[in-house]
A and B are shown apart, each in its own frame.
Chain A
């Protein structure tokens, strides 16, 4: 495997002066360096001789043992490529389906069967998809705000105050998050279809069905425990001294929470916010059932995508295009939040 005449070979270069006299006439024969050189240079020669007896697999194993970092790097690439393919390939496939003109959806292998970028415009022409997107965005944003505000207060209480029953209460909150959402559906649906006189000025008929509240309320509640858990962990790590300092300087406890604890917990707040936003935006069950699917009745993006499925035909290419468009706001949000999370983490690292 090493060529003694190749002076770029490092293994040769190190002992080239010693081996120059041993290269002639020794091809294919086991060399016995001790015969020729009784000086200390035999150890390296032994290694090289042993190499000659190994097959490619043995050689690879030996290399791996002596250089494990190569194997780790190889494993990293394998894993990374696996995850990239499993997450990105569906998007690629979605894009191919979207670009293929309607009616030619068979025979898509890795390229679209035809080229029809107009599908991304057509999406908005067939139905008012932008309204569905707007509805979803508003619902997700409202839920995120509700969750962050309430979970901040709860996180402050659980993370920074000592009170009897703290641990059982925290466990109760977490247990609720393990309930199947379907268990809430029937009673909630019944409730949201009941007319309340005091809601009449807001919703017209006094029910919450077909309003954003019908989605924001249950979805906030369902994703609240996770946010509480994340924020509790972050808020409990802010030193007491900082809160004390803020309170002596002139804030209330609440003021200290918003002026000191939350800014210092920015990564945690961003994490909880992004997770909540994505979860609500992607939610299927309540999104599907709490409105009648009409865009003017706050139907979310899900109903929009399903609206391309008519009684007589299914516009798969438009469904695919709409799905891609629907992902864009979330992708942008995550990229922005990512920066916040990273900058928040650096700020956290500078803490005393």
Chain B
């Protein structure tokens, strides 16, 4: 097992920059997930660790060794692939033992280790099957067995669950966590599914446009995103955003105003445009908001569509009187819509006029231009006239 360090990794394909100056460190035994939308450079970054891609600039260290120019086979890494990549002309035993047979192990040792690996991923009795005779989940377990059988220093997993069906994916998620605990292995995991990233990792590295946005434990990414991209990407459904202007004593968006004493925030001054972010679960109906320590003033809204999920209900709120819910508008970014999640026993129906409040401790402010987070939670930043200013809901 070993730690992995990336130093200023940049990968350019002609004019295109796929990975832009990424530096990060994965500790020994840590499970780090690279997450980001398609084309954000997460797979390319992983390939530079594997040695399948040469970085244009930067160094890769595994343990204490600079492996930047080493061939993949000499790096002590094992990889699990999105398209599974089992060798179709070999049976399961040959697939798992492929790497061992290339090295100088005697047959006895190879068989022992293959059986042990098959045991870990619960593939006993399937060693003489061909990959084509197996289900997707079994194939991916063979892929994982092929990776663990060599006892590598670092596991690289490139969206290993992406091609599995939803139920199997959740199951394999727990299996991978169990595997991580059993092997105590350093794992770098690539996914575009933020749920996978949240549930499995010790830390998440959020990438966008080839740049590292934030690397932090999942809940830190969730609660204190460093910028608007991370805030919007982590969490499902996405955080609500509303652009607004800082005025004297408040933050005015096109549909509501939040009390804010900008003088107490060094990063913000009157006249600045900022983006307010609030997660759906931090929007509450006024009549249920008694328990909130620091609610905002009520905001008038009308319910548009309800999405009952079983354990919670997503309510799409229209903030302006004259707008209709529109397919073209993403509720997360549309200034006129707000997504709220409520418990299923809440009495609410579509087309109803309601008052909602936001939890001030969960409001995030982002710089409207750069997207950088300015402050997480604005409790205690009410202006002196707190509670007396009328809500301008229209």
Contacts and interface: CB of A to CB of B under 8 A. Distances in A.
Interface of A: 239, 241-242, 244-252, 255, 260, 263-264, 347, 350-352
23 contacts: A239-B85, A241-B84, A244-B72, A244-B81, A244-B85, A245-B85, A246-B87, A247-B52, A247-B72, A248-B77, A248-B79, A248-B156, A249-B102, A249-B150, A250-B98, A250-B102, A250-B150, A255-B102, A264-B88, A347-B89, A350-B131, A352-B84, A352-B131
Contacts of A264: 87-89
Contacts of B98: 246, 249-250
Contact of A245 (B81, B89, B102): B81
A112 B260 CA distance: 112
User: 8 shortest A-B CB distances, which residue pairs?
Assistant: A241-B85, A249-B99, A350-B132, A250-B102, A245-B85, A250-B73, A248-B79, A247-B72
B78 interface: yes
Given A250-B99, A352-B84, 4 more contacts: A239-B83, A244-B52, A248-B156, A249-B99
B73 A251 contact: yes
Contacts of B50: 244, 248
Nearest to A245: B85
A249 B72 CA distance: 8
Nearest to A242: B85
A350 B73 contact: no
A316 B108 CA distance: 64
Interface in B56-88: 71-73, 77-79, 81-88
Interface string B127-150: 000111000000000000010001
B103 interface: yes
B132 A248 contact: no
Given A248-B52, A350-B88, A241 B73 contact: no
Contact of B79 (A242, A244, A252, A350): A244
B89 A352 contact: no
With a 10 A CB-CB cut-off, give which of A249, A252, A350, A351 has the most chain B CB atoms.
A249
A352 B88 contact: yes
A171 to B, nearest CB: 23
A64 B85 CA distance: 51
A264 B86 CA distance: 12
Given A255-B102, A350-B130, A350-B132, A247 B85 contact: no
A247 B71 CA distance: 8
B88 A248 contact: no
Contacts of B72: 244, 247-248
Contact of B83 (A250, A260, A263, A352): A352
A245 B132 contact: no
Contacts of B87: 242, 245-246, 260, 264
Interface of B: 50-52, 71-73, 77-79, 81-89, 98-99, 102-103, 130-132, 146, 150, 156
Contacts of A252: 71, 73
A351 B71 CA distance: 27
A352 B89 CA distance: 11
Contacts of A241: 81-85
B230 to A, nearest CB: 30
A260 B95 CA distance: 11
Contacts of A247: 51-52, 71-73
B150 to A, nearest CB: 8
B52 A250 contact: no
A351 B83 CA distance: 11
Given A239-B83, A244-B52, A350-B132, A249 B89 contact: no
Contacts of B146: 245, 249
A269 to B, nearest CB: 13
Contacts of B131: 350, 352
A252 B72 CA distance: 8
Contacts of A244: 50, 52, 72, 79, 81, 85
Nearest to B13: A162
B139 to A, nearest CB: 8
A31 B98 CA distance: 81
B88 A351 contact: yes
With a 10 A CB-CB cut-off, give which of B78, B84, B87 has the most chain A CB atoms.
B87
Contacts of A250: 73, 98-99, 102-103, 150
A350 B88 CA distance: 7
A251 B87 CA distance: 13
A27 to B, nearest CB: 66
B78 A248 contact: yes
A114 to B, nearest CB: 54
Contacts of B103: 250
A251 B102 contact: yes
Contacts of B88: 264, 347, 350-352
Nearest to B83: A241
A255 B102 CA distance: 10
A239 B89 CA distance: 14
B97 to A, nearest CB: 10
Contacts of A242: 85, 87
Contacts of A249: 73, 78, 98-99, 102, 146, 150
A78 to B, nearest CB: 40
With a 10 A CB-CB cut-off, give which of B52, B88, B99 has the most chain A CB atoms.
B88
A265 to B, nearest CB: 10
A101 B73 CA distance: 68
Given A255-B102, A263-B89, A350-B132, A248 B83 contact: no
Nearest to B82: A241
A59 B156 CA distance: 72
A153 to B, nearest CB: 18
A141 B361 CA distance: 80
A351 B102 CA distance: 23
Contacts of B84: 241, 352
Given A250-B102, A352-B84, A352-B88, A245 B79 contact: yes
A247 B78 CA distance: 10
With a 10 A CB-CB cut-off, give which of B89, B146, B156 has the most chain A CB atoms.
B89
Nearest to B53: A244
A255 B150 CA distance: 18
B137 to A, nearest CB: 14
A27 B385 CA distance: 113
Contacts of A260: 87
Nearest to A238: B88
B296 to A, nearest CB: 51
Nearest to A263: B89
Contacts of B89: 263-264, 347
Contacts of A263: 89
A350 B146 CA distance: 20
A10 to B, nearest CB: 45
Contacts of B82: 241
A247 B82 CA distance: 16
